[in-house]
Chain A
Amino acid sequence: MRIQAAESIRTEDACVHSNLADRPAPTKTAETGVPDGAGANVAAAAPMLSGAEITIQALIDEGVEYVFGYPGGAVLHIYDALFQRGDAIKHVLVRHEQGATHAADGYARATGKCGVCLVTSGPGATNAVTGIATAHLDSIPMVVITGQVPTPVIGSDAFQEVDTVGITRPCVKHNFLVKRLEDLALTIRKAFFIAQSGRPGPVVVDIPKDVTDPNIKVPYVYPRDLSIRSYNPAKRGHLGQIRKAVEAMLDAKRPIFYTGGGAILDDAAAPLTELVRALGFPITSTLMGLGAYPMTDKQFVGMLGMHGTYEANMAMHETDCLIAIGARFDDRVTGKIEHFCPHAEIIHVDVDPSSISKNVKVQVPIVGPVGSVVTDMLGVLRESGGRPDQTALAAWWKQIDEWRSIDCMRYDRSSPMIKPQFAVETLYKVTDGDLFLTSDVGQHQMFAAQFYPFDKPRRWINSGGLGTMGFGLPAAMGVQLGHPDAQVACISGEASILMCIQEMATCKQYSLPIKVVLLNNGYMGMVRQWQEFFYESRYAHSYVDALPDFVALAQSFGHVGMRVEKPDQLEAAMREAFAMKDRFVFLDVIVDPSENVYPMICAGKGHHEMELPPTMSERELA
């Protein structure tokens, strides 16, 4: 579907684009797309736009609300076109391109829409790479528009030239270099389609500056319907396989659901919850899937994996029927593969066929969007009228409750210092469980996942795949913009927060009332924990020396800063912070520097070989 007859014409008439603002939305006529060969007709009716104007108009036609960006030479034509369109699209000026990508990513995770970034060539693009890779590993729909040097100088080591398509190739779902103006609108349409369909992911569109030249215009038509012959993501699961899966579930004696980020990405929470409740099976989740099933429900046995609960991991080890939904058997989840689910028949639902049988061989693969497959499972289950073996299920629950009674996440509640676990519990209490919580990476991330039960999807926003420190604060900006009236907090560590601290200025500029809850333990706690366990407490460069005064720092950005050091002051301080509905508040919570995340599966161990937290008497001995 090329837009034909779209020969570029050069016009010296610089006023042409100045009446753009009055132009009626041009694409409503293009609902049915551009049939091949219809180019001549289209050219007559379509408005003439420059590449820069096309870029902006295409975003508007995609329904994009926010663009997170940072200007520079190669995108100046685009910024000028943006300026001319006034309020049709909102641009959020970040303070570092990494911030733009994480903000767009946070927006996408919290709203389910596509995140959009606009950055310049060279350093703009390279600064964006961390955020692109972060989105890639967690399958987040995002379109990143990068400026590029003009086509005639590509390959000449021109000023601010990098091979953006080459650098980002391994960390995008797809990328494009747009060499011809005539291809621009269709390429942007393809980028949004690819980013949001199938297994979502980031798509980079690299646009050389000459392609956005304001003086060269082509007829603009935004193709609505699009098909790409080499790209056909599955739309439904195979019904025969779904029947087989339901039979296996009904035959199971010790079943468990294991859900991942895919259940959230595909908005499968409602049918998933219905199916799990209808069967009465236990359910566990990965770090990325938290909230797809209500975590306060008693069928939820906690997160699994390295810092999962004892009951979830033991159940994984003992299960005879594992129902994996939108999860990818990541090494942080499986522990040592040889020990993984030794007794189970495995059902695996995923929209991406390459996820299936990648790390663990499965018996019932089902390729399809998880929401539709789970809905079909429910249908088949109801139709069959079958019920799981109630006696076996009761025995299974009895066993799980025994594992539960071990209380694997106990911690010292009488400590005179604030325990990070207590801080998260207090956060839950103060926010009534109604919060969008973004996280950075480290112990605080694990404590948040363990101690803040999310009952809804898209509430827990963290970089699970890449584990990107610096993600939390900019991601929270995107979340807050996507949900302007919601409570949004970022839980962080004193090391992580410094990686994107500059975004406090963005928060000020756009009056984003985010609450930063800093669990300040003075260490790169997660690194320190590994050094304590596996390197005989040789704390090589994990002490975060020369920390700023975070309260003063927040204030210098125009925000409210607060510090708490005593457990009995914490709740009041948090309430005070969250009561400031229209202010960004930075809460520096001084926590016990020596606390570790338990339970833990150490490297090379299986689910049944967890380290539990030290008991009271062990603590006294130590």
Chain B
Amino acid sequence: MRHIISMLVENESGALSRIAGLFSARGYNIESLTVAATDEPSLSRMTLVTRGNDDIVEQIKKQLNKLIDVVKLQDLSEGEHIEREMMLIKLKAAGPDREELKRLTEIFRAKIIDVTEASYIVELTGASRKLDAFIEAAPEGLITEVVRSGPTGILRGAKGLTL
């Protein structure tokens, strides 16, 4: 099963390599990892997507928690949560394809953010599956470049992942 693990991590230079190293050393699967600062300068927030059966994911969480740099950890997949990923996608847009791509962009509630005679750049935010669906739906041969942020997420409701 796919799990989204969200962590508050000490904003120390070695923290990222410790987490990445844990996954390679123990042979765990890692689909994406995003890191950025938070409102609290000493902490960064990491969102990590992994796949595995319950036992493996349980072990992954324990091993992550064991790292001294990991302050708090939450498996978003265990509760109601919101998942968002951003994609920038560059498409060949010439002749009749331009209209088709505009329609597709509207259907997905995406935005065209850069236009040339021969291309569009589309920005799309949503759950990863929605991004997959857009790529799927884009007419064949038109995709030049796909840039995805990897998912981030947050639990629904009033409670937060804080210190």
Q: Any chain A CB within 8 A of the CB of B52?
A: no
A-B contact pairs, 14 of them (CB 8 A): A169-B14, A170-B21, A173-B68, A175-B14, A177-B14, A229-B71, A230-B10, A230-B68, A230-B69, A231-B68, A354-B59, A354-B65, A354-B66, A358-B59
Looking at the assembled complex, report how far the CB atom of B32 sits from the nearest CB atom of chain A, in whole angstroms.
22
Interface flag for B17 (CB, 8 Å): yes
A-B contact count (CB 8 A): 38
Which B residues between 12 and 26 are near A, CB-CB below 8 angstroms?
13-14, 17-18, 21, 25
| A353 neighbours in B (Cβ, 8 Å) | 62, 65-66
A 144-170 binary contact with B (CB < 8 Å = 1; else 0): 000000000000000000000110011
B10 contacts which chain A residues (CB < 8 A)?
230
**What are the residues of chain A within 8 A of B65 when measuring CB–CB?**
353-354
B163's nearest neighbour on chain A, judged by CB, is A229
Name the B residues within 8 Å of A344 (CB-CB): none
- List of A residues within 8 angstroms of B14 by Cβ: 165, 169, 175, 177
CB-defined contacts of A228 to chain B, threshold 8 Å:
68
Total interface residues in chain A, CB < 8 Å: 19
> Which of these, B25, B59, B71, contacts A230 with CB under 8 Å?
B71
User: Which B residues from 81 to 119 make CB contacts under 8 A with A?
Assistant: none
A354 and B70 CA atoms in complex are apart in Å by 14
- 8 Å CB interface, B54-85 against A: 55, 58-59, 62-63, 65-66, 68-72
Q: Apart from A169-B21, A174-B68, A361-B55, what are 5 other A-B pairs with CB-CB below 8 Å?
A: A230-B69, A230-B70, A231-B68, A353-B62, A354-B59
Instruction: Give the complex CA separation of A558 and B153 in angstroms.
Output: 68
Contacts of B68 in A (CB 8 A): 173-174, 194, 228, 230-231
Chain A residue nearest to B63 in the complex (CB): A354
- Cβ A352 vs Cβ B66 within 8 A: yes
State the Cβ distance, B46 to closest chain A Cβ, in Å.
13
Verify if A357 is at the interface (C-beta below 8 Å from B). Answer: yes
* Pairwise interchain contact A169-B18, C-beta atoms closer than 8 A: yes
Categorize the interface residue count of chain B.
Answer: 20 to 34
CA distance A358 to B66 in the complex (A): 14
* B60 shortest CB reach to chain A, Å: 10
Q: Name the interface residues of A323-366: CB closer than 8 Å to any CB of B.
A: 352-354, 357-358, 361
Question: Closest Cβ of chain A: how far from B137's Cβ, in Å?
Answer: 43
Inter-chain contact B62/A177, CB cutoff 8 Å: no
Contact partners of B55 in chain A: CB under 8 A: 357, 361
The residue in chain A whose Cβ has the minimal distance to the Cβ of B62 is: A354
Residues from chain A with a CB closer than 8 A to the CB of B163 are: 229
**Selected contact of B17 from candidates A166, A352, A357, CB within 8 Å:** A166
CB proximity to B under 8 Å, residues A192-241: 194, 228-231
Q: How far is the CA of A170 from the CA of B18 in the complex (A)?
A: 8
Q: Which of A169, A230, A358 has the most chain B CB atoms closer than 10 A to its own CB?
A: A230
Cβ–Cβ contact B71 & A169, under 8 A? no
Nearest Cβ on chain B to A229's Cβ, whole angstroms: 6
In the bound complex, what is the Cα–Cα distance between A420 and B10 (angstroms)?
A: 53
B145 to nearest A CB, angstroms? 32
Chain B residues within an 8 Å CB radius of A175: 14
Q: Which 8 residue pairs across A and B have the least CB separation, nearest first?
A: A354-B62, A230-B71, A174-B68, A170-B25, A231-B68, A354-B66, A353-B62, A354-B63
Q: Complex formed: what's the CA distance from A230 to B58 in Å?
A: 19
Set of chain B residues within 8 Å of A166, measured between Cβ atoms: 17
Which single residue of chain B is at the shortest CB-CB distance from A170?
B25
Which partner residue on chain A sits nearest B69 by CB separation?
A230
The residue in chain B whose Cβ has the minimal distance to the Cβ of A354 is B62
Query: Smallest CB–CB gap between A148 and chain B, Å?
Result: 14
A361 to B56, CA, bound (A): 12
Q: Once bound together, how far apart are the Cα atoms of A166 and B14, in whole Å? A: 9
For B21, the chain A residues whose CB sits under 8 A away are 169-170
Smallest CB gap from A190: residue in B: B68
Asked whether, in the complex, the Cβ of A169 is within 8 Å of the Cβ of B17, the reply is yes
Closest residue of A by beta carbon distance from B12: A176
- Shortest Cβ distance from residue A283 to the other chain B in the assembled complex, whole angstroms: 28
Complex CA gap A352/B18 in Å reads: 18
For B63, what are the chain A residues with a Cβ–Cβ distance below 8 Å?
Answer: 354
Distance between Cα atoms of A128 and B68 in the complex (Å): 22
In the complex, what distance in Å separates the CA atom of A169 from the CA atom of B20? 11
